[in-house]
Amino acid sequence: MSFLALQVNAQEQRTFNPAGMLSLGGRTTVSLFNDHKNEMTGTGIGGQFRLRFSDAVNTDWFFDYITSDILNYAHRTDYHIGWSVLFYPINHLAYFHQPKDFKPKFRPYILAGHCFDYSKIEAKDGISPLDGALYAERWSSAVQAGIGTHLELTPRFDISLTGQYMIHLGNHIETDFDFTSGTLSFHEHKGASLAGHLLVTVSLNYKIARLWGFTRR
């Protein structure tokens, strides 16, 4: 009897376990408090897929394309490709386990992760009369951490809001603009620096498949 009870219990746990769930989504990002001198608020677009590993752990795999102004003399483009681990610290509460009567709910999380990024800074007019194309670029790596919450509107659809600080590790580019002569120049500094920015992201996600852990009929 106890063996049967254990089996039933295990069956129930399997039913509630969302591991293996794959979501697909689109996202919009705002880049704030950029460390680059005179850089202004940036806006971006991207996509992501989300793969859940357990009831408390999820992962985001994302791509972002972000553009911003450096006052009115240059503009910057950032491409981010990376991943984040999402941890649901209060997921054990009964509020999050309502398998029968679904109600929209918030599901807060802490996240941390890593990404690769490519940045390009171009003069506003794109060219210099003497030097031709006027731009600087770099590849670097970054780490990010922050907090967020899902707003689960249906069992399969959610809107997620995330605030995270991203620190770029590696070479960085400085722009110098002489306001008297209107001359723009770039300087690349090698080595580690902790230049970063705050990213606020809104994403729309839909669960499209369960890759493992499904119940066989």
Partner 1 sequence: MGIHQKIVGLFLAASTLVFSQEKLIYFEPSLLRASATIAPTRFYNHETTVAFINGFMEYVVEPKISVRGEANFMAPNGQLLFTNSPEKFPRNFASIYAGFGYHLGKKNWKIDLHAEPGIALAEMAQDPYVVVPSRFQWSACPSYMLKAGSSFYFSKYCHFFAEINFSNGWVRKTTLSSVSLAQYGVSAGLGFHLITQKHDE
Residues at the site binding partner 1, with contacts judged by CB under 8 A: 26-29, 43-46, 65-69, 72, 75, 77, 122, 124-126, 153-154, 156-157, 159, 202, 204, 206
Beta bridge partners of 159: 151, 204
Least CB distance to partner 1 at residue 203 (A): 9
Q: Which is nearer to partner 1, 26 or 89 (CB)?
A: 26
26 or 213, CB closer to partner 1? 26
Are 47 and 26 within 8 A, CB to CB? Answer: yes
CB of 201 to partner 1, least distance (A): 10
Question: Exposure pattern of 77-100 as b/e (b: 16+ CB <10 Å)?
Answer: bbbbebebbbebeebeeeeeeeee
CB 106, min distance to partner 1, A: 17
Q: Which is nearer to partner 1, 145 or 159 (CB)?
A: 159
Q: Shortest Cβ distance from residue 73 to partner 1 (Å)?
A: 10
Closest CA to 13 of 157, 215, 207: 215
**Which CB sits closer to partner 1, 70 or 91?**
70
Q: Give min distance, CB of 2 to partner 1, in A.
A: 40
Q: Which is nearer to partner 1, 192 or 208 (CB)?
A: 208
